[in-house]
Amino acid sequence: MKAVHEWTASEMLAAISCGRITVRALIESCLLRISARDDDVRAWLWLNADALAQADRLDALPADQRGRLHGLPLGVKDVFDTIDMPTTHNSSLYQGFRPAADAAAVALVRAEGVVLLGKTDTTEFAAAGRNAATGNPHDLTRTSGGSSAGSAAAVADFHVPVALATQTGGSTIRPAAFCGIYGFKPSAHLISREGVKVYSISFDTVGWMARSVADLQLLAGVYGITERLRAPLPNADLMIGVTAGPHAGALDKEALHALDTAEKRLVAAGHRVKRLELPTAFHALDLQHRTILRREGAQAFRALARTHGTALHDDFHRLVENRDNHALADLNAAYHAIAQGQQMFDEIASGFDLILVPSAPGVAPVGRKPGDPIFNAMWTALGVPCLNLPVSGLRDVSMPVGVTAISMRFDDVALLEAGRRIAPLLISLSSF
Amino acid sequence: MKAVHEWTASEMLAAISCGRITVRALIESCLLRISARDDDVRAWLWLNADALAQADRLDALPADQRGRLHGLPLGVKDVFDTIDMPTTHNSSLYQGFRPAADAAAVALVRAEGVVLLGKTDTTEFAAAGRNAATGNPHDLTRTSGGSSAGSAAAVADFHVPVALATQTGGSTIRPAAFCGIYGFKPSAHLISREGVKVYSISFDTVGWMARSVADLQLLAGVYGITERLRAPLPNADLMIGVTAGPHAGALDKEALHALDTAEKRLVAAGHRVKRLELPTAFHALDLQHRTILRREGAQAFRALARTHGTALHDDFHRLVENRDNHALADLNAAYHAIAQGQQMFDEIASGFDLILVPSAPGVAPVGRKPGDPIFNAMWTALGVPCLNLPVSGLRDVSMPVGVTAISMRFDDVALLEAGRRIAPLLISLSSF
């Protein structure tokens, strides 16, 4: 039988709702797990000392005043402002910084009754500079991925069932893949980022980590992602595209094996699967993403560079000074090219329920570097929804590996539904 | 001779720099002006009680420690977070709210030595709900325009030489036009909006009010807008396009007269002027802007709607509940259409140094409503730089009226230079 802290969010909410467990007992179980594990994992930068008192207050609340996430333990990446805990961005400049309000994305789940267990470690400002100290729960010598390192590890290691993350390049999908959990980056601009550190106006996106797709659907509902973009395709089984994409040459054998295995298992389950070639224009999306990221990043860190001088990590001065020489004309061209890519991708993706692509070049590397975003940045640039699905039971692969399900921009509801259908097929323990 | 508070920012900085005036004397002059006028104008929601003490500290600072805006009085729209003054967004929900940090756009000018005189009135959350109480300095029965009502009036009425504003539809250009001053909305995503209330991720832009184009150039330099997009056109005189745009039918005779007069004066000065027709696709940009604004606005206000219920103005619940039924598919189509419009506009604008368009349907209306953004929203949607230039000396026009100079996205530096050249021609007192 699973320990309480190992339940999914949906299981926890159901158990609280029917009185099988108190919020206090649930929070105690999670805190004990953190206490036993976090000296090694280092997922957390700050723990909420008031969590048990909050649990008691929630337990005392009449049923008709309870929110949709009543009593749910939640981790929050330390780039979200929180009114009751410091927000440090893992930066020496922000140690002890106390925001005057919650980020909008925090306020919304707090109003629904979550218990914030604390703030999770992150690459500095979710951007560059200092790495998170977090280890991968499956092998502590390895990274849990970045920038949402702590949120991924905390969920994978059963400290919390769900956690808030962000993605600007690959900062949600990649750590989810490295840690063997479900991670979701919604379509661009669907969730308020107010009170979240800005890196790129165009690309920063609030995302979530969870141990089931159902839990991601639960969060999508709370955040107002409930509308369908289009009518379902007229087939009972799913129409699934598969492509290694324009950077296939960067995939190692574990990642290739995961994508091939996913394809075989889906075919075996009766879904229609088609291998895709993406247009050659897609090869440049990663570079265009980088041009925009660096120019937008220059604006995001200009004031900190001016006010803190060399106390700010040189990575950010590099951005502000545009040392990589991204010209304004290149920036303009990059915006245009990405807009054209979005139009092309809409046409391609309209023929599929979802498309499977790699989540990362391979398994989590040794060390604490966040890893390469090359398999994520182009999809973030296109603003499409991205769902990491773990692929397990692979021969000769001992670390987690995942594939990303993507779909048309704003097709989030249908993508999560389709992802929920195929997720169990991918964690099959068969020998494919 | 002009009183000290009537000087432009550039004149004030020069006088301080050569010791002709102290920061204290300058700030005193501005505060006296505010004290004499603001019971009527109502530009300010909060005045900085520490301003004179800050002036004294700046006067005591050795020359080598002085910033580029040393001693300059500045107004800040009350949607920017300020660490030393409340930030209310003109909302009952935020009365007395004290942010823990400056907005990035405030931190940057504070580091350069400005003296923040206070926070200026605004349409609630720079979006909807409650109007600013500000009157137009040229006729107090009329609006000074919205949403940056207080910033425009404060500059026009000589309370401060420059003020920070924002624009999501027409919130900088329109009040600048109504108040007879220079207003600038830079190209999209060139200035950090961190710590500024979010309405639309795609469209919110930090802008400035000033009494000269040179002062706008000064601010552009401080905010890092210093790079040219393209080589200058190969003509000594300017190549200028003129168009009333797709909503010409909504222009009243004052606004038409201003555009025609601007054209005649520019021709008389020897510039090459060409009347333009915009592609028919541009007719829909205003509607596409609105679709995106409302869907992005729903996300921006979702947490406030959840946490404050009916205490939040119904305008924002209307957004959150999507009562105007903007479908996700329409949102996706609107993003695509605007991206195509950006491509088309680049091609059109590449043949001109600048293009003149109307700033508003006419002069400032009686009352306190912010006015119609129909002549601004499409340019905000395209992300192009917009510069309001007052046109004065018009027969039978007793209130200020302006025209907007626009150019290619990211052509801000050249647009400000060209605007500075033609600005004196448009305020000619000749009888054209």
Averaged pLDDT, B231-236: 84
Query: In this predicted structure, what is the pLDDT of residue A236?
Result: 84
Q: Flag whether A306 is in a domain.
A: no
Residue B361, helix vs strand vs coil: coil
Query: In this predicted structure, what is the pLDDT of residue A234?
Result: 81
Q: Flag whether B152 is in a domain.
A: yes
Query: pLDDT digit of tens for each residue in chain A (432 aa)?
Result: 899 999 999 999 999 999 999 999 999 999 999 999 999 999 999 999 999 999 999 999 999 999 999 999 999 999 999 999 999 999 999 999 999 999 999 999 999 999 999 999 999 999 999 999 999 999 999 999 999 999 999 999 999 999 999 999 999 999 999 999 999 999 999 999 999 999 999 999 999 999 999 999 999 999 999 999 999 888 789 999 999 999 999 999 999 999 999 999 999 999 999 999 999 999 999 999 999 999 999 999 999 999 999 999 999 999 999 999 999 999 999 999 999 999 999 999 999 999 999 999 999 999 999 999 999 999 999 999 999 999 999 988 899 999 999 999 999 999 999 999 999 999 976 544
Q: How far is residue A398's CA from residue B105's CA, in Å, rounded to a whole number?
A: 48
Which residues of B are the active-site residues? 77, 147, 171
Query: Given B189, B320, B409, which is nearest A296 (Cβ)?
Result: B189
Note whether B350 contacts A: Cβ–Cβ < 8 A: no
Give Cβ neighbours of residue B247 (< 8 Å, ≥ 6 apart). B286, B374, B375
Known active-site residue A147: yes
Query: Given A198, A229, A327, which is nearest B192 (Cβ)?
Result: A198
Q: Flag whether B427 is in a domain.
A: no
Averaged pLDDT, B323-339: 98
Same-domain pairing of A53 and A134 = yes
Average pLDDT of every residue of chain B:
97
Which residues 24-43 in chain B show a CB within 8 A of chain A?
Answer: none
A189 contacts B193? CB cut-off 8 A: no
| pLDDT band (50, 70, 90) for residue B260 | very high
Note whether A214 contacts B: Cβ–Cβ < 8 A: no
Tell me if B389 sits within 8 A of B186, measured CB to CB: no
Among candidate residues A171, A192, A222, the one where a domain is terminated: A222
Note whether B105 contacts A: Cβ–Cβ < 8 A: yes
Averaged pLDDT, B131-156: 98
Residue B396, CA atoms < 13 Å, CB-side half-sphere: 6
Query: In this predicted structure, what is the pLDDT of residue B234?
Result: 81
Note whether B298 contacts A: Cβ–Cβ < 8 A: yes
B192 contacts A306? CB cut-off 8 A: no
Tell me if A361 sits within 8 A of A248, measured CB to CB: no
B26-39 pLDDT, tens per residue?
Answer: 999 999 999 999 99
Buried b (16+ CB within 10 A) or exposed e, B102-115: bbbbbbbbbbbbbb
Note whether A228 contacts B: Cβ–Cβ < 8 A: yes
Catalytic residue among A10, A144, A147, A187: A147
Catalytic residue among A91, A171, A200, A359: A171
Name residue B132's amino acid.
A
Name the residue in chain B with its Cα closest to that of A110: B307
Q: Chain A: nearest CA to B190, how far in angstroms?
A: 6
B306 contacts A107? CB cut-off 8 A: yes
Same-domain pairing of A255 and A133 = no
Q: How far is residue A100's CA from residue A98's CA, in Å, rounded to a whole number?
A: 7
Same-domain pairing of A210 and A259 = no
Cβ-Cβ contacts under 8 Å between A and B: the total is 141
Same-domain pairing of A139 and A268 = no
Same-domain pairing of A13 and A149 = yes
Which pair of structure tokens corresponds to residue B235?
A: 């003509």
Domain that includes residue B9, residue range: 1-421
Q: Flag whether B426 is in a domain.
A: no
Known active-site residue A92: no
Note whether A382 contacts B: Cβ–Cβ < 8 A: no
Same-domain pairing of A422 and A370 = yes
CATH number at residue B58: 3.90.1300.10
Name the residue in chain B with its Cα closest to that of A411: B328
B64-98 pLDDT, tens per residue?
Answer: 999 999 999 999 999 999 999 999 999 999 999 99
Which residues in chain A are contacts of B100 at CB distance < 8 A? Answer: 97-100
B192 contacts A300? CB cut-off 8 A: yes
Query: Given B300, B327, B339, which is nearest A194 (Cβ)?
Result: B300
Known active-site residue A2: no
Q: How far is residue B3's CA from residue B18's CA, in Å, rounded to a whole number?
A: 18
Note whether A231 contacts B: Cβ–Cβ < 8 A: no
Note whether A194 contacts B: Cβ–Cβ < 8 A: yes
Q: Flag whether B308 is in a domain.
A: yes
Strand partners, B319: none
B303 contacts A108? CB cut-off 8 A: yes
Phi/psi of residue B134, nearest 5 degrees? -65, 135
Strand partners, A275: A242
Q: Flag whether B259 is in a domain.
A: yes
Residue B144, helix vs strand vs coil: coil
Which residues in chain A are contacts of B197 at CB distance < 8 A? Answer: 194
Q: Flag whether A87 is in a domain.
A: yes
Q: How many distinct structural domains can be found in chain A? A: 2
Note whether B228 contacts A: Cβ–Cβ < 8 A: yes
Query: Given B224, B299, B408, which is nearest A190 (Cβ)?
Result: B299
Q: CA Rg, chain A, in Å?
A: 21
Give yes or no for residue B417 having a pLDDT over 60.
yes
The percentage of chain B sitting over the pLDDT mark of 90, rounded to a whole number, equals: 97
Note whether A350 contacts B: Cβ–Cβ < 8 A: no
Same-domain pairing of A270 and A164 = no
Q: How far is residue B307's CA from residue A107's CA, in Å, rounded to a whole number?
A: 8
Which residues in chain B are contacts of A168 at CB distance < 8 A? Answer: none
B299 contacts A189? CB cut-off 8 A: yes
Note whether A108 contacts B: Cβ–Cβ < 8 A: yes
Same-domain pairing of A108 and A253 = no
Q: How far is residue A271's CA from residue A423's CA, in Å, rounded to a whole number?
A: 13
Burial class of B249 by CB neighbour count within 10 A (0 to 12, 13 to 18, 19+):
exposed
Q: Chain A: nearest CA to B228, how far in angstroms?
A: 7
Name the residue in chain B with its Cα closest to that of A198: B194
Tell me if B299 sits within 8 A of B317, measured CB to CB: no
Q: Flag whether B431 is in a domain.
A: no
Dihedral of alpha carbons A324, A327, A330, A331, sign: positive
Query: In this predicted structure, what is the pLDDT of residue A424?
Result: 97
Note whether B392 contacts A: Cβ–Cβ < 8 A: no
* Whole-number Cα distances in Å, B36 to A197, A254, B157: 41, 74, 11
B97 contacts A97? CB cut-off 8 A: no
Query: In this predicted structure, what is the pLDDT of residue A429?
Result: 63
The percentage of chain B sitting over the pLDDT mark of 70, rounded to a whole number, equals: 99
